[in-house]
Amino acid sequence: MIHRRRVNTNLIAGCIITGLTVFIILVGYFWTPFDPAGMDASAINAAPGLPHLLGTDRFGRDTLSRIMQGAGATLRIAFFAVCIGAFAGTLIGGLTGYFGGILDELIMRLSDAVTAFPSVLLALVAVSIVGRGSDKLILVLGVLFIPSFARVVRGEFVKQQHRDYVKNARLMGVKDARIIFVHILPNISAVLLSSIAIGFNNAVLAEASMSFLGLGVAPTESASLGIMLKEAENSLMSAPWQALSAGFSIAILILGFSLISEGLGFNGIRSRTSKRRLRLNAENA
Amino acid sequence: MPKMLNESAQPAGEALLELRKLRVSFNDGRGGEVVRGIDLAMEEGETLGLVGESGSGKTVTALTIAGLLSENLVTVSGEIIFGGKDLLKCSRSELRALQGRDIGMIFQEPMTSLDPLMRIGFQVEEPLRLHTKLPYRERRKKALEVMGLVDLPEPSETYRKFPHQLSGGQRQRAMIASAFITHPKLLILDEPTTALDVTVQKQILDLLRTLNERHSVGLLFISHDLRVVRHICRKVAVMYQGEIVEYGDTAQVFSNPQHEYTQRLVAAVSAGRRVYD
């Protein structure tokens, strides 16, 4: 067998892009060039230049500062929504996949039903019930993400469950919980990680579209990329930099995560885990 | 002729395992009965070969004894007496204690029977972690001891390795070490050498034979390879379409097969016998 070190360009590029954006966002929490909410009547719809690097909006607010803050809000929502979805989804998918039976059928049919609706539509309904605000948006998106994670994890569990090492563990008398979390979970981590990265993408997009439709973050709460897009809509012709910079930020965020999930999913990273997996696959092939 | 086994092991001891009218059918709606009421007995320290073609029910029998078939999937009736208890009537926790400690199982494919992301040593000592209260140091010591016993090279190094770093034969040795660490009374071997090449096969068989002779572990050896069974088993049971059609001393069954199916089986491998002996 040939051990060639393949450089995983996708993963590296994804990590660099995501790392940079996260860094900028973190900086945005402590320092922005201007107050993101501070209006300046002397610089309304100012074009990019000095001192406003990305220009200003129709209230004279600095676009760069608002993006730094808004991307933070978007990322925060995406992060917690994915946390809820991935945690609950893994738990549900793991248990149903492992134990099977009627509960498994029931939950999977339920998730079929949920998946059948466009998720934004469901989110609209849910938000109109629970109300606006970033915390509520996190909750709604998180719950909506559960089925997709549950499905992926369940599939993997069903697959792993028939592997001999799981049978062997069961024969040894390993408790079910230990089999699920200590034996099977690490073995599906690659799949789980890449679906988490994809989940991030969906969450960022969902936040943006919900806020764009006026159902996400309240404009009084903080900036968010979706809100900025919405606000930029009116001055699209006269001051295109507002829409462009918000849209571009969304694209960059998503690009970073996509590259990471691509890198995790297909090539395996240069960490021990994936190298092992890679060799394993090569040997099995 | 291969050397007869078990001449040193205790004769006609207590029954270790007894199957009474064991029936297994799949709940797939068609009611396909895979095991049709078999009776089988094994003494302590005995080596019993269960042979038959694919689909004859031998693996299902093994999995049933080990309790590895999901209750949703199959319906089992009859009795499986192990150590004086009917396994089919035991509670889950009773089974857990009994099976993990006293029954070990080795699977066909050593590649998949070890957890790919767990160090070999941890997997070897896992039964101790589950069934004893030994502290880590003691477990490690025992694991290294058993790994040496099954001829794994440099146990302390292998202890830290991952399954993909071992060869197929070494993986199977690690499996055996893990199954053997609690000194079980019965090892179920489901085609343990099929995935290995012939020279390694021989080494693994010799290792199993040693374990049987020195530590009087009962071996239930499931195989379609008659040469392997001849090599290692004292008794043999031939399964055909879910029933046991012939049972007896290996030498007798093979030299003077009674059932038509056994005759065909023996005739089919008689060419290979010379090579193996």
**A285–chain B nearest CA distance, Å:** 12
Asked if the structure places residue B210 within a domain, the reply is: yes
Q: Are A200 and A192 in contact (CB under 8 A)?
A: no
Q: Where are the beta strands (DSSP E) in chain B?
A: 15-26, 33-43, 47-51, 74-82, 85-86, 103-106, 186-190, 218-223, 235-240, 243-249
Percentage of chain B beyond pLDDT 90 is 19
Taking contacts as CB-CB distances below 8 angstroms, the residues of chain A near B126 are 169, 172, 174
What band does B129 get if pLDDT is binned at 50, 70 and 90? Answer: confident
Asked if the structure places residue B229 within a domain, the reply is: yes
Give residue B92's pLDDT.
78
Residue B97 has pLDDT above 60, yes or no: yes
- SS3 at position B21: strand
What band does A92 get if pLDDT is binned at 50, 70 and 90? Answer: very high
Asked if the structure places residue B79 within a domain, the reply is: yes
What are the structure tokens assigned to A66, written together? 């608002």
Q: Are B187 and B218 in contact (CB under 8 A)?
A: yes
- pLDDT tens sequence across A165-209: 888 888 888 888 888 988 899 888 888 888 898 888 889 988 888
Give residue B63's pLDDT.
87
Question: Is A283 in the B-facing interface, judged by CB distances under 8 Å?
Answer: yes
- pLDDT tens sequence across B20-49: 999 998 887 776 788 898 999 998 889 999
The rounded distance, in Å, linking the Cα atoms of B265 and B257 is 9
Question: Is A121 in the B-facing interface, judged by CB distances under 8 Å?
Answer: no
Classify residue A120 as left (phi > 0), alpha (psi -120 to 50) or beta: alpha
The predicted model gives B48-75 an average pLDDT of: 85
Percentage of chain B beyond pLDDT 70 is 91
| Closest-approach residue (CA) in chain A for B182 | A172
What band does B6 get if pLDDT is binned at 50, 70 and 90? Answer: very low
Average per-residue pLDDT for chain B: 84
Residue A4 has pLDDT above 90, yes or no: no
Asked if the structure places residue B58 within a domain, the reply is: yes
Give residue A87's pLDDT.
95
The predicted model gives B190-206 an average pLDDT of: 86
Asked if the structure places residue B174 within a domain, the reply is: no
Q: Do B115 and A100 touch (CB under 8 A)?
A: no
Domain that holds residue B200: 15-112+185-276
- pLDDT tens sequence across A42-90: 777 777 777 877 878 777 788 888 888 888 888 899 999 999 999 999 9
Question: Is B268 in the A-facing interface, judged by CB distances under 8 Å?
Answer: no
What are the structure tokens assigned to B14, written together? 């207590």
- pLDDT tens sequence across B134-172: 899 999 999 999 999 888 989 999 999 999 899 888 999
Of the candidates B85, B114, B106, B107, the one whose C-alpha atom is nearest the C-alpha of residue B97 is B85
DSSP summary character for residue A56: B
DSSP summary character for residue A266: I
Question: Is A174 in the B-facing interface, judged by CB distances under 8 Å?
Answer: yes
DSSP-derived secondary structure for A179-203? IIIIIIHHHTHHHHHHHHHHHHHHH
Give residue A113's pLDDT.
87
Q: Do B114 and A170 touch (CB under 8 A)?
A: no
Question: Is A19 in the B-facing interface, judged by CB distances under 8 Å?
Answer: no
- pLDDT tens sequence across B254-273: 888 888 888 888 887 765 54
**B130–chain A nearest CA distance, Å:** 7
B100 vs A172, A276, A277: nearest CB? A172
Count of other CB atoms within 10 angstroms of residue A106: 11
Enumerate long-range contacts of B9-12, CB under 8 Å, 24 or more apart. B9/B45, B9/B46, B9/B212, B9/B213, B9/B216, B10/B44, B10/B45, B10/B216, B12/B43
- pLDDT tens sequence across A107-157: 889 888 888 888 778 888 888 888 888 888 899 999 989 998 999 999 999
**A266–chain B nearest CA distance, Å:** 18
Please indicate whether residue A268 or residue B227 has the higher confidence score (pLDDT).
Answer: B227
Q: Do B111 and A284 touch (CB under 8 A)?
A: yes
Taking contacts as CB-CB distances below 8 angstroms, the residues of chain B near A164 are 107-109, 112-113
Taking contacts as CB-CB distances below 8 angstroms, the residues of chain A near B130 are 172-174
Count of other CB atoms within 10 angstroms of residue A26: 12
Asked if the structure places residue B252 within a domain, the reply is: yes
Write the CA distances from B186 to A153, B23, B83, B106, B219, integer angstroms. Answer: 35, 21, 10, 11, 6
| Closest-approach residue (CA) in chain B for A274 | B117
Give residue B8's pLDDT.
35
Domains of chain A (ranges, CATH numbers):
61-284 (1.10.3720.10)
Q: For the domain that residue B224 is a member of, what is the CATH number? A: 3.40.50.300
Asked if the structure places residue B10 within a domain, the reply is: no
Q: Do B175 and A276 touch (CB under 8 A)?
A: no
Tell which B residues from 39 to 68 touch A, by Cβ distance under 8 Å.
66-68
The predicted model gives B167-185 an average pLDDT of: 90
- pLDDT tens sequence across B229-258: 888 899 999 998 888 988 999 988 888 888
Asked if the structure places residue B135 within a domain, the reply is: no
Residue A282 has pLDDT above 60, yes or no: no
Q: Do B68 and A165 touch (CB under 8 A)?
A: no
Write the CA distances from B98 to A168, A202, B67, B177, B183, integer angstroms. Answer: 14, 49, 11, 18, 12
Write the CA distances from A26 to A53, A76, A247, A265, integer angstroms. Answer: 19, 11, 20, 27
| ipTM over cut 0.85 | no
Give residue B11's pLDDT.
41
What band does B7 get if pLDDT is binned at 50, 70 and 90? Answer: very low
The predicted model gives B203-210 an average pLDDT of: 90
Give residue A281's pLDDT.
54
Give residue B4's pLDDT.
41
Residue B190 has pLDDT above 80, yes or no: yes
**B261–chain A nearest CA distance, Å:** 31
Angle in degrees, 0-180, between the axes of helices B168-180 and B120-131, rounded to the nearest 10 = 10
